[in-house]
Amino acid sequence: MSFSLKNKSAILFDMDGVLYDSMPNHSKAWSQAMARFGMHMTPHDVYLNEGATGHDTVMRISLRDRGIEATAGEIDEIYGYKAQLFRSMPEAKVMPGAKEVFRKAAAAGLRILIVTGSGQKNLIERVQKDFEGYITRDRMVTAFEVTRGKPYPDPYLKGLEIAGVPATDAVVVENAPLGIRAAVAAGIDTIAVNTGPLEDEILMVEKPVLLFHSMQELADNIGSLFA
């Protein structure tokens, strides 16, 4: 592998689909919430829009299915119902390999942050417990910290600001096309982990430096990236 982590000082992780196997729950919740309001969202739609804020997701689907923008009230109602459904579903498991990646990154001296488009407060709270010693709330960028979510670079620019490093000194781990696009737009080398049903090409067109098919595969290979 020609890409190296040896000159990096910070690593920024997406959350859903990277640290947690939570995307199947998000997919079901979005599908049911949209159907209740007369719109249609397939699992493929959910994965393609992953990383965007709830506001932007509802707006995109509304424009596509109804030809009109969703009102602020509709967005709050739809996303609120989606969040309610998500909270009622079985707890998503930590992705195999994720904690190993954290351990190896920390051992190499990298600062660890999370940059997510999620506004799911239960996951935002849970990640601080599951990854205790690595993550605190002040090391997270969520939907509450930015106005423009992914695919805009704003979340990752905020992450760089918190980390206190330039883009060239950071690396991102992302599983979503919009997330990769956001990180690349922020000037950050990005490692893709394709943990969902999308074809590799959909992620590769966004120009990540590497692609793995699981967090465990990244964990198994991350040592060689420090060589």
At residue 127, does pLDDT exceed 70? yes
Verify that 105 and 33 share a domain, yes or no: no
Q: Looking at the structure, tell me whether residues 170 and 202 fall in a common domain.
A: yes
Same domain, 154 and 101: yes
What's the pLDDT at 2? 81
Q: Compute the half-sphere exposure of residue 122: CA atoms within 13 Å on the CB side of its CA.
A: 12
Total domains, the chain: 2
| Digit-coded pLDDT (tens) for 84-118 | 999 999 999 999 999 999 999 999 999 999 999 88
Domain shared by 212 and 156, yes or no: yes
Question: What gap in Å lies between CA 62 and CA 71, rounded to an integer?
Answer: 10
Cα distance between residue 160 and residue 193, in whole Å: 21
Does residue 3 fall inside a structural domain?
A: no
Give 31-69 pLDDT, tens digit per residue.
999 999 999 999 999 999 888 888 889 999 999 999 999
CATH at 74: 1.10.150.240
Q: How far apart are CA 152 and CA 141, in angstroms?
A: 14
Size of the chain in residues: 227
Does residue 98 sit in the same domain as residue 51?
no
d(CA 55, CA 132): 30
Same domain for 97 and 189? yes
Task: Name residues whose C-beta falls within 8 Å of residue 175's C-beta, 6 or more positions apart in sequence.
Answer: 14, 17, 18, 50, 192, 193, 194, 195, 196, 203
Domain boundary among 36, 70, 88: 88
Q: Is 197 in the same domain as 110?
A: yes
Q: Is residue 149 part of a domain?
A: yes
Parent domain of 69? 23-88
Last residue of a domain, one of 63, 88, 113: 88
**Which of the 8 DSSP states describes residue 8?**
-
Mean pLDDT of 63-88: 94
H/E segment holding residue 218: helix 215-225
Whether 36 and 114 map to the same domain: the answer is no
